[in-house]
Amino acid sequence: MKTVTYVINSITLAVALSTLTLVAKVQAGSSFSVNSTYADTHDNNGTHYEESRSLSSNEDTHDDLTLSALHETQSTVDGSDDAVSEDTHTNEEKKTSDNTHANSAHANSESSAIYPKKISQVPYSALGVLPTSEADEQFSYGDDLLQTIYTWHGRSSTNEMYADKALIFIHGGCWLNAYGYEHAKGMYHALAELGMGVYVTEYRRVGDEGGGWPGSLDDVTQAISTALKRIENEGRYTNIYIAGHSAGGHLALLAAQRLSSSSLNLSRANIKRIIGLAAITDIQSYAMGHNSCQLATAKFMNGTPEDVPTAYQRATPRPTHGSLPITLLQGDADSIVPARHAVLSGTNQKIIKNGGHFDWLHPESTSFDALLEVISEHDE
């Protein structure tokens, strides 16, 4: 009897050791690690998006020649099982769990069919390997070659959810001409595949004649106005969103504020919402920072806050002066634009746990899903 017991125990031990070895090999061969669950607390119960992962990468620079310090902000974050999205839509009516994601469920399903896994902390280099497509058309809003709008039209024939929606998008890049609209082409392509029209504004930036403050804002304001008139004349899209990323988010907020006080009736243009993706909202404090993008602020503004205080006041978004609803989307692990920039009076906020700066531009990310969700929720 002892002999039988000994044999059974030996076999059990061998099987256990074999299993542990196999697991170790599987884990060693994977470049992704399970990181977090994205829980949306927009409703009382919380809807979860599973399989959020941190995208492993060597230190990545936003550009090999300039802004080398940006790689410090996008290093891989260790995985955890308790990451949640803190939805601070305090000014909006709470919806039930049955209705909160009724509109966005199909969108998330469509997105997951193309990009099945969800990631966070996307390095800048990962944007360059995404599927892309060339713009369907382009048109000018000024005499300079940079004063151009590139358009991707919705391509999906099965997803009716975004068939009537258009996004006017202002790209980021620290206001510098080293970064054009091209770096987010994967995002434009993905939105078009979902059925949405995407109108991408190129504009003069620091390093371009006429760029910087206030020339870049003048360009963006004129571009949005031109795009709105184009959309209205074509009649292809009836629900319009204006969004900007990083420095582009800063310009989008200011341009919308300026247009709201102009003769252009933005509500008649059927603009549903202004969306800031890691938008720079406090430019004065941003100029006092030490990462490369923050150090570029004085170049954009032609001086420090002490040098040109009035200019900095005018370059600070004041949402209460506008007539359109604003949502600021921000990752809490974004060190290029700290999360405190999402705290702005007169706006709604959605904070993504472990969200990085470039996640918004990557269709596999939880942050991209959050963008789709905001668009879905506010399309009525």
| Residue with tokens 């879905």, as numbered in its chain | 376
Higher pLDDT, 322 or 347: 347
The predicted model gives 217-226 an average pLDDT of 97
The predicted model gives 187-194 an average pLDDT of 96
Compute the residue count for the chain. 380
Reply yes or no: is the peptide bond before residue 214 cis, omega within 30 of 0: yes
Residue 323 has a pLDDT of: 72
Cα 289 from chain centroid (whole Å): 22
Residue 99 has a pLDDT of: 35
Read off the pLDDT of residues 306-330 as tens digits, 9 standing for 90 and up.
999 999 999 999 987 667 899 999 9
Higher pLDDT, 108 or 283: 283
Residue 245 has pLDDT above 50, yes or no: yes
The predicted model gives 23-37 an average pLDDT of 35
Residue 342 has pLDDT above 50, yes or no: yes
Angle formed by the axes of helices 366-377 and 104-114, to 10°? 150
Percent of the chain with pLDDT over 70: 66
Residue 39 has pLDDT above 70, yes or no: no
Residue 240 has pLDDT above 60, yes or no: yes
CA distance 83 to 157: 35
Spell out the residues 6+ positions from residue 68 whose beta carbon is closer than 8 angstroms to its own: 61, 62, 292
Residue 231 has a pLDDT of: 95
pLDDT band, very low/low/confident/very high, at 266 (cuts 50, 70, 90): low
Which segments of 121-178 are extended strands (E)?
A: 137-140, 148-152, 165-170
| Residue with tokens 């803190």, as numbered in its chain | 86
* Alpha helix stretches (DSSP H) within 104-214: 104-114, 185-193
Q: What is the mean pLDDT of the chain?
A: 77
User: For 65, phi and psi rounded to 5 degrees?
Assistant: -100, -35
pLDDT band, very low/low/confident/very high, at 167 (cuts 50, 70, 90): very high
Class of domain 51-377: alpha beta
357, 329 contact by CB (below 8 A) = no
The predicted model gives 87-97 an average pLDDT of 35
